[in-house]
């Protein structure tokens, strides 16, 4: 009897253990199932947002939909995509948005963080899609324009004085047009080109390029030493072509026939202040007897006089009247006679 009782007790105990194990297994699978359902529910209701490291946008206003990839329920995606994250106000500006800022903006717009799953970068660097026009490109454009619109035909060289600053253009609207034109300059050896940038017909920038001009000119150079008072001629000078900072004077001519004011050494470039007009030949000389002529209304009166000083044609000299011994002032005519100044 005791043996049977022990066997039955052991069978009962084994049955209880088996039932307990079955109960634990059921609880485990129920919990796994519940967790899976919760995960599936959470996944289906979550807003999944992927953040890239860097992105360039067309507009100046930053919206979440422009700088991230958003998945989830359609209405929620549309709402999140319109959330503003900031404004780009300056050319070349970069704005950094991190995950806390994104979650904060979502929460402020009625989308709690519990419904959002973020992935990708921790921070986004955002900039605007822009086109940079280098200062060297402005110089090239201004040079080509100036070559076609030279203010003087003798200009042979254009030297830009400085490089303009780079110009940044937002890539929005229509293409940008650059319209160059000549502006007034303060000197004959300077030229200023203004370049106006137009976008959608509106002026968005003006850049200026200043050039120093060089001119083709002629100059007279001495071939030999020229003494003071000597006449300039093809035998003692030569005419050379040169490049100058200033244009050649109007009606420039070789200085033939002029006289040297001082001694001019060889290989010296002649300047206007070194030369003077050649004086005409002396027609009457001091103490020379000359004829004094007075002609008026067809009446000619003559007298004999003596020159007190040398005289050239057109000059005024003092003359003594031989008959009256009176000293008068008279103009020398080309024929050697003199005419009193009345």
Are 47-128 and 132-215 in the same CATH fold? Answer: yes
The CATH-assigned architecture of domain 282-340 is Roll (2.30)
- What pLDDT is attached to residue 31? 58
pTM of this structure: 0.50
Report in angstroms the alpha-carbon separations of 147 from 21, 33, 64, 209: 98, 83, 50, 14
The dotted CATH code for 47-128 is 3.10.129.70
- 168 φ, ψ to 5°? -100, 125
- What pLDDT is attached to residue 44? 46
Strand order in the sheet with 54-57: 54-57, 123-128, 94-98
- Looking at domain 216-276, its CATH class is alpha beta
Residues ≥6 apart with Cβ < 8 Å to 303: 291, 292, 294, 321, 322, 323
The sign of the torsion formed by the CA atoms of 61, 66, 70, 74 equals positive
Residues ≥6 apart with Cβ < 8 Å to 209: 138, 139, 142, 160, 164, 192, 193, 195
- What pLDDT is attached to residue 194? 92
Task: Return the structure tokens found at 138.
Answer: 């402005």
- What pLDDT is attached to residue 298? 79
Can you give the three-state secondary structure of 92-125, one letter per residue?
Answer: CCEEEEEHHHHHHHHHHCCCCHHHEEEEECCEEE
In terms of Cα–Cα distance, which of 68, 65, 81, 70 is closest to 47?
70
Where in the chain are the domains? 1-40, 47-128, 132-215, 216-276, 282-340
> Helix or strand or coil: residue 121?
coil
Of the candidate CATH numbers 3.30.70, 3.30.310, 3.10.129, 3.40.50, the domain formed by 132-215 belongs to 3.10.129
> Helix or strand or coil: residue 186?
coil
The answer to whether 138 touches 209, Cβ cutoff 8 Å, is yes
- 307 φ, ψ to 5°? -70, 135
The one-digit pLDDT tens for each residue of the chain (342 residues) are 444 455 455 555 556 665 555 555 656 555 545 454 444 444 444 799 999 999 888 777 899 998 899 999 888 888 989 999 888 877 678 899 999 999 999 999 989 988 899 999 999 999 887 777 888 889 999 999 999 998 888 899 999 998 888 887 766 556 778 899 998 888 878 999 999 988 878 888 888 999 999 999 999 999 999 999 899 999 999 999 999 998 898 888 999 989 999 999 999 999 999 999 877 788 999 999 999 998 887 788 899 999 999 998 888 899 999 999 999 999 999 889 999 987
Measured CA to CA, the distance from residue 312 to residue 288 in angstroms comes to 13
- What pLDDT is attached to residue 255? 93
């Amino acid at each position: 009897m005791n043996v049977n009782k022990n066997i039955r007790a052991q069978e009962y105990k084994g049955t209880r253990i088996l039932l307990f194990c079955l109960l634990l297994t059921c609880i485990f699978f129920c919990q796994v199932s519940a967790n899976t359902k919760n995960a599936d529910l959470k996944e289906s209701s979550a807003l999944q947002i992927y953040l890239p490291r860097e992105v360039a946008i067309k507009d100046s206003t930053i919206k979440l939909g422009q700088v991230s990839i958003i998945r989830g329920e359609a209405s929620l995606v549309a709402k999140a995509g319109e959330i503003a994250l900031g404004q780009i106000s300056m050319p070349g500006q970069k704005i950094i948005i991190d995950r806390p800022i994104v979650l904060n903006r979502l929460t402020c717009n009625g989308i709690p963080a519990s419904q959002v799953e973020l992935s990708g970068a921790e921070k986004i660097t955002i900039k605007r899609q822009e086109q940079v026009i280098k200062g060297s490109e402005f110089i090239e454009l201004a040079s080509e324009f100036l070559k076609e619109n030279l203010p003087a035909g003798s200009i042979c060289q254009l030297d830009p004085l400085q490089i303009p600053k780079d110009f940044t253009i937002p890539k929005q609207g229509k293409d940008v047009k650059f319209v160059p034109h000549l502006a007034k300059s303060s000197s004959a050896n300077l030229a200023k080109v203004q370049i106006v940038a137009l976008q959608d017909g509106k002026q968005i920038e003006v850049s200026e390029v200043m050039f120093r001009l060089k001119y083709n000119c002629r100059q007279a150079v001495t071939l030999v030493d020229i003494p003071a008072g000597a006449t300039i001629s093809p035998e003692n000078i030569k005419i050379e072509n040169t490049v100058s900072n200033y244009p050649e004077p109007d009606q420039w001519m070789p200085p033939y026939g002029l006289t040297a004011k001082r001694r001019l050494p060889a290989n010296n470039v002649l300047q206007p202040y070194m030369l003077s007009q050649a004086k005409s030949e002396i027609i009457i000389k001091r103490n020379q007897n000359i004829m004094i002529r007075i002609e008026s209304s067809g009446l000619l009166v003559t007298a004999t006089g003596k020159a007190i000083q040398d005289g050239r044609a057109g000059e005024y000299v003092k003359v003594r009247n031989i008959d009256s011994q009176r000293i008068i002032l008279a103009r020398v005519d080309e024929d050697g006679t003199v005419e009193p100044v009345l």
